[in-house]
Amino acid sequence: MSMKTIYILNGPNLNLLGQREPHIYGHDTLATIEGLCRTKAKALGFEISFHQSNIEGELVSLIQEAREKAQGLIINAASYTHTSIALHDAVKAVGLPAIEVHLSNVHAREAFRHHSYMAAATRGVICGFGPQSYTLALDALAHILNQKEKA
C-alpha cells in the first residue's frame, strides 16, 4: 500500500529563513522545517512533497500538480497570501483539503497582513507558532484526510 502524500508549498523569501528578520521568523531554516515536517508526516503515515518558490506562477503550477499527486495541501504563501488571487483560485480549482500556515502571527503585525486571499480557499489557518505551525497543520490535515477516508 502506498503512503498518502501531502504537498507543502512555501512562497517568496522563505528560502531566507534563519537569516531574514530572525526576531520575527526565528532562527530555523526552511531545511530544518522540512525535516520537522518529514518526521511528523512519517509518524502520521504520510509522505510529503516539500517545495519553495519565489515565483507566483511556479506555485500555481505546483498546486495544480498536487491535484494528481497528493491528497492534501499545506501552503505558506508568504506575502502572496495578501495579494494573490491566482493562488486562491488555484487552491479552489484543485479541490484538495488545504491549510494555510504562517510562522508569525500575521494578525499582530502590519495591517496589510491582516487580509488573506488564501483563507477563503482553505479549511483553516494556523499562524504564530513558528515551525510548529507546520506540524500543527500536518496534524489537522491528517485528521481531515482520515475522517474523509472513514466516510
pLDDT tens for each residue of 82-95:
999 999 999 999 99
Check pLDDT > 60 for residue 1: no
More confident residue, 69 or 26: 69
Mean pLDDT of the chain: 92
Check pLDDT > 70 for residue 146: yes
pTM (2 decimals)?
0.93
Question: Which one from 25, 80, 117, 134 is the annotated catalytic residue?
Answer: 25
Contact 118, 75 (CB under 8 A): yes
- What confidence category does residue 115 fall into, taking pLDDT thresholds of 50, 70 and 90? confident
- Digit-coded pLDDT (tens) for 61-88: 999 999 999 999 999 999 999 999 999 9
Domain of residue 24 covers: 4-150
Check pLDDT > 90 for residue 128: yes
The predicted pLDDT at position 112 comes to 64
Find the CATH number of the domain harbouring 85. 3.40.50.9100
Instruction: Assess whether 88 carries a catalytic annotation.
Output: no
Question: Which one from 7, 80, 102, 134 is the annotated catalytic residue?
Answer: 102
- What confidence category does residue 25 fall into, taking pLDDT thresholds of 50, 70 and 90? confident
d(CA 39, CA 111): 35
- Digit-coded pLDDT (tens) for 94-110: 999 999 999 988 776 76
**Rounded mean pLDDT, 41-66:** 98
The DSSP-derived string for 85-127 is HHHHHHHHHH---EEEEESS-GGGS-GGGG--TTGGGSSEEEE
Instruction: Assess whether 25 carries a catalytic annotation.
Output: yes
**Rounded mean pLDDT, 12-29:** 87
Domain tally, the chain:
1
d(CA 27, CA 122): 28
Total Cβ atoms within 10 A of residue 121? 21
Check pLDDT > 80 for residue 111: no
Distance set, CA 124 to CA 12, 27, 102 (Å): 21, 26, 12
